Chain A
């Protein structure tokens, strides 16, 4: 895209942007649309872009302008200045005196001029300098337009100025700045609801991206511009959009290029504009397509027809296409190059715009031409230039690919980073999970340990209790034994001595009774010489004694080969005493039997009766059954297992003890 073409497009759009301030808007506005300014006939005349072609335009303007200034109607004068200037921009004109008029007027009246006119003047100045590529001056005046807008028109001017600056940046190679300010302009147009303004910005932005070889972005923005154009039903703009698309696809080498060229051509045919520029452009583009398709005669015919038109149209933007198609045609035709000098003239411009495709074509055509003229030096030179252009194009493609790959790489890198982060997150979560599990396990372990400790404690206390009971029993037995022995040995003997001194038979008899009583007491206290006599004999004697005393019919079946410790034997003896005593007291039984059996490693003691029985659980829990409890305690103390069962048929007490318990 050449500078002039951009400029033209921009101007066109700007005009429409300003004119469109009277159109209804759909979006919310930063400022509301003011009512249309009523122009008098002069103003209206000056405003009409067609009238600029009139050679008296400037003169007419000057007179009327001076009139207004002289009459002190500054507002009116400023307004006229704006309208005229806009017209000049649209027509791509540059007039030094007109410019001076503008500068002087502003310098003189400054703040008196309403903001919307003052900014408009500055805007025009910026535009005009831009057309002659005086970018420095252009930027100077564009910047002066950038005030804080207080009304709609001023805001619009500010946006247009930004647009202009974007365009300047693009042309001076400051593409990043161009994009930046372009988006600012876009935003402002959006707020103002200026669809035309947006379209202009989209178009320029698309161009910048195309220049950056970011074709996808360029296409997106170009499509947005085109959709606005189609809505506006402005054929000029629509055509321009088509042209942009074709240019883009041509540079991209897009497969749909032919289809779009057809679309452009169809549109043109439907439109049939009066302007020769469009005709030239459309038909040139179409014939280029024909050349590429190999339809040379048809292409040649069109090009031949267009030749006079080419001389007429001065606008490079549209005439370039003609040369392009022509060069391609001549090359394909291979019948000599007729317009070599035309192509030669294009070279520096193309080099500046880095239009490699055309450079390749033109250089190769020129080279062929040189060869035909036997100018081998130049032939070689042009050939090299063509090759260089090809290389540059290749380089550009590679750079593009690299950029694509880089984009992909960046995306992949980002994706990998995300994946990594997710993994890290998952790891963190797993870690947290483990920690929590660990914590739970730890607390569980803690609880378990606590209960284990508790149980141990309880067991320990139980063991201590057991020990105490055992000790108590032992001590008690010891004491009883001692008392029994003392009673029997000492007291009995003393009584004996007393008896020997007695001579009264009645007294001696009574002493005998006493001795027997002592014996009884002693016997009851402690089984006599249990260790020497043995458990079997002692138990049998016990049972016989009960029988003889007429207490209870009691039989015994005792098999014992003395393997237990003395303490154990004593406790068993006591258990039998307790059990039988209970039976005598409570059972009301006919008989009782005491059995002692050795079953393998265990010793089984059983005391059973056929009395009325009792409720074991109830008795044990009543707290009054000392005898029953003592049986259980004694069993426990010697490490035996006690089992008490009772029914209406009778009671059975079983004690099981292991023989190896010492």
Chain B
């Protein structure tokens, strides 16, 4: 049983979340629909968990987090949001957010999240940065699909018999970065640590250009 503060500028969402949280047996110390009130209430109630929406009038979720940081309050914050953005998530992580839940999946996972956070763990929606495009790349080779675009590019260049130095120059990155990519690729493709293993594989598998 924990004290939880709710904040969301969508009244239906707020109601819904309130009902849900209460059903889990937690105590709602207060509710608000605005960032500034949220921050003030956190200061006032010092709840165990602050369950905040991202986009709120007054201050958004990130700003509240910032302020809490500056005020050195260690209230555990869970962001409950529609924003499926890596950038936002990363920033929130910088600001020591404990939980990040995507609203569309919240009904299933909010309970787990709260539980984890109360346990001093972090819990983030796994669907974060899942690019759900109807048109996904249809790559015949399953191995290739394991690679990121960047990795695919590097393999392509290796296939064209470029040296590490050359690759670094072409891609405006450092040789070290190239090496990192190479080792990652080798791992992903389960290639032996032989000298030209990757080169051979690349020539074999990359469509000729």
Q: Which of A499, A511, A547 is close to B149, meaning CB atoms less than 8 Å apart?
A: A547
Most-contacted residue by chain B among A496, A497, A499, A513 (CB, 10 A): A496
Q: Which residues of A479-513 have CB atoms within 8 Å of chain B's CB atoms?
A: 485, 488-489, 492-493, 496-497, 499-500, 511-513
Contact A541-B86, Cβ < 8 Å, known A553-B153, A555-B173: yes
Q: Which of B91, B104, B170 is close to A496, meaning CB atoms less than 8 Å apart?
A: B104
Verify if A591 is at the interface (C-beta below 8 Å from B): yes
Distance in Å from the Cβ of B109 to the closest Cβ of chain A?
14
Verify if A577 is at the interface (C-beta below 8 Å from B): no
Verify if B191 is at the interface (C-beta below 8 Å from A): no
What chain A residues lie within 8 Å of B66 (beta carbons)? Answer: 532
Distance in Å from the Cβ of B155 to the closest Cβ of chain A?
12
Whole-angstrom distance between the alpha carbons of A590 and B160 in the complex? 12
A548 touches B84 (CB 8 A): no
A515 touches B148 (CB 8 A): no
B82 touches A516 (CB 8 A): no
What chain B residues lie within 8 Å of A497 (beta carbons)? Answer: 12
Q: Which of B13, B63, B132, B171 is close to A512, meaning CB atoms less than 8 Å apart?
A: B132
Verify if B87 is at the interface (C-beta below 8 Å from A): yes
Distance in Å from the Cβ of A6 to the closest Cβ of chain B?
131
Q: 1/0 per residue A120-158: CB within 8 Å of B?
A: 000000000000000000000000000000000000000
Verify if B205 is at the interface (C-beta below 8 Å from A): no
Closest partner residue, chain B, to A550 (CB atom): B149
Verify if B131 is at the interface (C-beta below 8 Å from A): yes
What chain B residues lie within 8 Å of A610 (beta carbons)? Answer: 170, 172
What chain B residues lie within 8 Å of A516 (beta carbons)? Answer: 84, 131-133
Q: 1/0 per residue B113-129: CB within 8 Å of A?
A: 00000000000000000
Verify if A116 is at the interface (C-beta below 8 Å from B): no
A591 touches B82 (CB 8 A): no
B62 touches A529 (CB 8 A): yes
B86 touches A544 (CB 8 A): yes
A493 touches B10 (CB 8 A): yes
A534 touches B91 (CB 8 A): yes
Contact A533-B62, Cβ < 8 Å, known A493-B10, A538-B87: yes
Most-contacted residue by chain B among A519, A532, A534, A541 (CB, 10 A): A532
What chain A residues lie within 8 Å of B132 (beta carbons)? Answer: 512-513, 516
What chain B residues lie within 8 Å of A545 (beta carbons)? Answer: 86
Q: Which of B63, B82, B137 is close to A492, meaning CB atoms less than 8 Å apart?
A: B82
Closest partner residue, chain B, to A547 (CB atom): B149
Q: Which residues of B71-105 have CB atoms within 8 Å of chain A's CB atoms?
A: 82-88, 90-91, 103-104
What chain B residues lie within 8 Å of A549 (beta carbons)? Answer: 131, 149
Closest partner residue, chain B, to A485 (CB atom): B55
Q: Which of B16, B87, B171 is close to A553, meaning CB atoms less than 8 Å apart?
A: B171
Contact A528-B107, Cβ < 8 Å, known A533-B88, A591-B171: no
Closest partner residue, chain A, to B173 (CB atom): A555
What chain B residues lie within 8 Å of A537 (beta carbons)? Answer: 87, 90-91
Contact A496-B82, Cβ < 8 Å, known A532-B60, A533-B88, A548-B131: yes
Verify if A194 is at the interface (C-beta below 8 Å from B): no
Verify if B150 is at the interface (C-beta below 8 Å from A): yes
B104 touches A488 (CB 8 A): no
What chain A residues lie within 8 Å of B90 (beta carbons)? Answer: 537, 541
B62 touches A499 (CB 8 A): no
Verify if A636 is at the interface (C-beta below 8 Å from B): no
B84 touches A519 (CB 8 A): yes
Whole-angstrom distance between the alpha carbons of A538 and B62 in the complex? 14
Give chain A's interface secondary structure class.
helix
Number of chain A residues whose Cβ lies closer than 8 Å to a Cβ of chain B: 39
Verify if B1 is at the interface (C-beta below 8 Å from A): no
Contact A553-B150, Cβ < 8 Å, known A485-B55, A529-B60, A591-B170: yes
Verify if B193 is at the interface (C-beta below 8 Å from A): no
B172 touches A499 (CB 8 A): no
What chain B residues lie within 8 Å of A593 (beta carbons)? Answer: 172-173
Q: Which residues of A524-559 have CB atoms within 8 Å of chain B's CB atoms?
A: 528-529, 532-534, 537-538, 540-541, 544-545, 547-550, 553, 555
Contact A555-B148, Cβ < 8 Å, known A489-B55, A544-B86: no
A499 touches B104 (CB 8 A): yes
B149 touches A528 (CB 8 A): no
B91 touches A532 (CB 8 A): yes
A541 touches B82 (CB 8 A): no
What chain B residues lie within 8 Å of A496 (beta carbons)? Answer: 13, 82, 103-104
Whole-angstrom distance between the alpha carbons of A610 and B166 in the complex? 13
Q: Which residues of A451-495 have CB atoms within 8 Å of chain B's CB atoms?
A: 485, 488-489, 492-493
What chain B residues lie within 8 Å of A519 (beta carbons)? Answer: 82-85
Most-contacted residue by chain A among B60, B148, B149 (CB, 10 A): B149
A529 touches B172 (CB 8 A): no
Verify if A204 is at the interface (C-beta below 8 Å from B): no
Q: Which residues of A274-300 have CB atoms within 8 Å of chain B's CB atoms?
A: none
B83 touches A547 (CB 8 A): no
A532 touches B63 (CB 8 A): yes
Q: Which residues of B130-164 have CB atoms within 8 Å of chain A's CB atoms?
A: 131-134, 137, 148-150, 153, 157
Whole-angstrom distance between the alpha carbons of A623 and B129 in the complex? 39
Whole-angstrom distance between the alpha carbons of A500 and B105 in the complex? 10
Whole-angstrom distance between the alpha carbons of A550 and B138 in the complex? 13
Whole-angstrom distance between the alpha carbons of A620 and B177 in the complex? 37
Distance in Å from the Cβ of B129 to the closest Cβ of chain A?
8
Contact A555-B171, Cβ < 8 Å, known A485-B55, A489-B82, A513-B132: yes
Whole-angstrom distance between the alpha carbons of A365 and B153 in the complex? 153
B137 touches A590 (CB 8 A): no
Whole-angstrom distance between the alpha carbons of A555 and B175 in the complex? 13
Verify if A203 is at the interface (C-beta below 8 Å from B): no
A590 touches B171 (CB 8 A): yes
B91 touches A553 (CB 8 A): no
What chain B residues lie within 8 Å of A492 (beta carbons)? Answer: 82
What chain B residues lie within 8 Å of A608 (beta carbons)? Answer: 172
Q: 1/0 per residue B45-67: CB within 8 Å of A?
A: 00000000011000010110010
What chain A residues lie within 8 Å of B170 (beta carbons)? Answer: 590-591, 610
Distance in Å from the Cβ of B154 to the closest Cβ of chain A?
8
Closest partner residue, chain A, to B63 (CB atom): A532
Q: 1/0 per residue B170-208: CB within 8 Å of A?
A: 111100010000000000000000000000000000000
Verify if A14 is at the interface (C-beta below 8 Å from B): no
Distance in Å from the Cβ of B20 to the closest Cβ of chain A?
11
Verify if A655 is at the interface (C-beta below 8 Å from B): no
Verify if A592 is at the interface (C-beta below 8 Å from B): yes
Known contacts A512-B132, A545-B86, A553-B153; 4 additional CB pairs below 8 A are A500-B107, A515-B104, A555-B172, A608-B172
* 5 tightest A-B CB contacts, nearest first: A593-B172, A541-B87, A532-B62, A591-B171, A553-B153
Interface residues of B (CB under 8 A from A): 9-10, 12-13, 16, 54-55, 60, 62-63, 66, 82-88, 90-91, 103-104, 107, 131-134, 137, 148-150, 153, 157, 170-173, 177
Jot down 5 A-B pairs with beta carbons below 8 A, ordered by A. A512-B104, A516-B133, A529-B60, A529-B62, A593-B172
